[in-house]
Amino acid sequence: MAGIHNPGYQPQFILTMVGAGMTANKHKDAGAQVTLKKKLEHRRFLGIFTGGTRFHLEGLGDKISVMSQVDLLYRLQQIDDAIRDSKKRLAQVISLQKESSDLEAARRSTEVAAEDLKNWRGKQNVLNLELSALNEKAKQEEIRLYSGMVKNPKELEEIQYELESLGRRGSALEDELIEAMIMVEDREREAIEAEQELEAIETTWVKDQESLNIERGELITTINDLIKQRKELLTIVSGEAMAAYHNAIRRAGNPAVVLLKGSRCSGCQVTIPANLVKSTEDGNLVVCDNCSRVLCLM
């Protein structure tokens, strides 16, 4: 396998890999200029592009294929598509890295459950204090009643009344306290469940972040590489080819470079005149009359 690596050469064509039916009429060693016979029986793009001023020539004998300006535009289109796709995915990744709505909802539920539990515990404490004070008062009244110190029957009767009243209030307070205790238990269970759910969602989220961080880094590297490749490619794309590419995008949108299938433009399905089909086959830059897209052969 012959190989030429010549960084100083500014080729009009970029040589790629082995193709069929293309003959170089002058083919010297590394560093030599290579003049290519322009007539192609088959033009085949096999896609090795090594940079703006370098090329690879790998051939069987002197059979090689070339990258014409149309091939370069096709490559440019692949790069532009890849840049666009990578940027789109990068935007998705960045938006996934914001807190998800599930996580926000779980966090809110946990806060509500904790607040609810705090309120019911407070209520339970107040009721406990109230009941203790009431029991203490009843105890003092009982001591007075049975101490023998109070002799006045009317006063004794009043103490009896007071004790009965305290007893009624006490049992009402106990009912309220039992209700509060049940509520506290329920709220405790709910708070634990909300915490567990939040933890599960957070764990998944953190795990996703790791892979998203890796993907984000890879996408940034890919985009930078593609931009570099694009820059290198642009140094060998002619002004005419570039103008045709931009014109096709402006007038027809993506893709700017389309296949010529037989004599039909695969961009708009219109039949191309025979002389333009021939010109496309000869490796010239031809645009579809109807949709303005650049025509290429694979």
Q: Does 268 bind Zn ion (CB under 5 A)?
A: yes
| 181: Cβ contacts below 8 Å, ≥ 6 apart | 124
Task: Measure the CA–CA gap between 134 and 152, rounded to whole angstroms.
Answer: 24
Work out how close the CB of 46 gets to Zn ion at its nearest, in angstroms, rounded to a whole number: 26
Span 32-51, contacts to Zn ion by CB under 5 A? none
Q: Does 263 bind Zn ion (CB under 5 A)?
A: no
Q: Shortest distance, CB of residue 281 to Zn ion, whole angstroms? A: 17
Q: State which residue, 255 or 267, has the beta carbon closest to Zn ion.
A: 267
Nearer to Zn ion, 4 or 287 (CB): 287
Nearer to Zn ion (CB atom), residue 180 or residue 294: 294
User: Of the two residues 17 and 268, which places its CB atom closer to Zn ion in the complex?
Assistant: 268
Q: Which residue number, 285 or 288, has a Cβ lying nearer to Zn ion?
A: 288
Q: Which of residues 217-246 bind Zn ion (CB under 5 A)?
A: none
> In whole angstroms, what is the distance from residue 8 CA to residue 125 CA?
88
Smallest gap from Cβ 264 to Zn ion, in A, equals: 9
Q: Does position 267 bind Zn ion by CB under 5 A?
A: yes
Judged by CB under 5 A, the stretch of 92-100, 174-182, 226-234, 283-291 that binds Zn ion is 283-291
Distances in Å between the Cα of 173 and the Cα atoms of 5, 110, 133 are 96, 30, 11
Q: Does 291 bind Zn ion (CB under 5 A)?
A: yes
Minimum gap (Å) between residue 298 Cβ and Zn ion:
16
Cβ of residue 261: shortest distance to Zn ion, in angstroms? 11
265 contacts Zn ion (rule: CB under 5 A): yes
Q: Which lies closer to Zn ion via its Cβ, residue 163 or residue 268? A: 268
Size of the site for Zn ion (CB under 5 A): 6
Q: Which of 109, 128, 279, 290 touches Zn ion (CB under 5 A)?
A: 290
b/e map of 241-269 (b: 16 or more CB within 10 Å)? beebbeebbeebeebbbbbbeeebbebee
Is 283 near Zn ion (CB under 5 A)? no
Q: Which CB, 241 or 252, lies closer to Zn ion? A: 252
Please tell me whether residue 259 binds Zn ion under the rule CB under 5 A: no
Q: Which is nearer to Zn ion, 74 or 120 (CB)?
A: 74
Q: In this structure, are residues 51 and 230 in contact, taking their beta carbons and an 8 Å threshold?
A: no
Contact of 30 with 3, CB cutoff 8 Å? yes
Binding interface with Zn ion (CB under 5 A) = 265, 267-268, 288, 290-291
